[in-house]
Amino acid sequence: MGVMNDLLTNDLFPQALLPVTLQGPADLEGFRRAARALLAQQMLPEQVSWHSSDTPVQDLFASPLAGAVAATTAIHNAAFANAPPVSVPPEYVTLCETAILHSDASRFGLLYRILWRLVHEPGLRHDPLDADMIKAGHMAQAVRRDMHKMKAFVRFRTVQDETFRNHPEGGPLHVAWFEPEHHIVEAIAPFFARRFTQMRWAVLTPERSIQWDYIRPHARHFVSSLPPEGASPALGRPGGGLAQLRFGPGASKSDAPPPDAGEKLWLTYYENIFNPARLKMKMMQKEMPRKYWHNLPEAALIAPLAAGAHARSARMVDDVAAGPKRRLPTIKVLPVTMASDEDAPERSLAQLREATNHCRECPIGACATQSVGGEGSLLAKLMFVGEQPGDQEDLLGRPFVGPAGQLLDRAFDELGIQREQVFVSNAVKHFKYELRGKRRIHKTPSQREAAACQHWLDDEIAMVQPGLLVALGATAARSLLGRAVPVMAHRGQILERDDGRKVLVTLHPSALLRMPAEEREAAYAAWLADLSVLNGEIV
Q: Name the residue nearer to ligand URA (CB basis): 216 or 508.
A: 508
Q: Which residues contact residue 464 at a Cβ distance below 8 angstroms, ignoring those fewer than 6 apart?
A: 374, 376, 377, 378, 379, 380, 383, 423
Closest CA to 402 of 530, 487, 509: 509
Rounded least distance, CB 32 to ligand URA, Å: 43
Q: Name the residue nearer to ligand URA (CB basis): 210 or 417.
A: 417
- Quick note: the x/- pattern for ligand URA over 408-437, rule CB under 6 A, is ------------------x-----------
- Quick note: the x/- pattern for ligand URA over 322-361, rule CB under 6 A, is ----------------------------------------
User: In this structure, what are the phi and psi dihedrals at residue 259, rounded to the nearest 5 degrees?
Assistant: -55, 150
Report DSSP letters for 371-427, one per residue.
----EE-TT-SEEEEES---HHHHHHT-SS-SHHHHHHHHHHHHHT--GGGSEEEES
Residues 158, 260 contacting (CB under 8 angstroms): yes
Rounded least distance, CB 442 to ligand URA, Å: 8
Q: Name the residue nearer to ligand URA (CB basis): 272 or 406.
A: 406
Q: Which residues does residue 201 pair with via DSSP β-bridges, in sequence order?
A: 174, 212
Rounded least distance, CB 423 to ligand URA, Å: 13
Q: Name the residue nearer to ligand URA (CB basis): 351 or 444.
A: 444
Report DSSP letters for 256-305, one per residue.
SPPP-HHHHHHHHHHHHH--GGG--HHHHHHHS-GGGGGG-TTHHHHHHH
Residues 371-410 that bind ligand URA (CB under 6 A): 386-390, 393, 399-400, 402, 404-405
User: In this structure, what are the phi and psi dihedrals at residue 495, rounded to the nearest 5 degrees?
Assistant: -105, 165
Which residue number is nearest to ligand URA in terms of Cβ? 386
CA 300-258-286 angle, 5° bins = 35
Rounded least distance, CB 469 to ligand URA, Å: 14
Rounded least distance, CB 404 to ligand URA, Å: 4
Residue 527 engages ligand URA in binding (rule: CB under 6 A): no
Q: How many residues bind ligand URA (CB under 6 A)?
A: 14
Rounded least distance, CB 187 to ligand URA, Å: 32
- Quick note: the x/- pattern for ligand URA over 117-146, rule CB under 6 A, is ------------------------------
**Number of neighbours of residue 253 by Cβ within 10 angstroms:** 13
Rounded least distance, CB 330 to ligand URA, Å: 23
| Binding footprint of ligand URA on the chain (CB under 6 A) | 386-390, 393, 399-400, 402, 404-405, 426, 508, 510
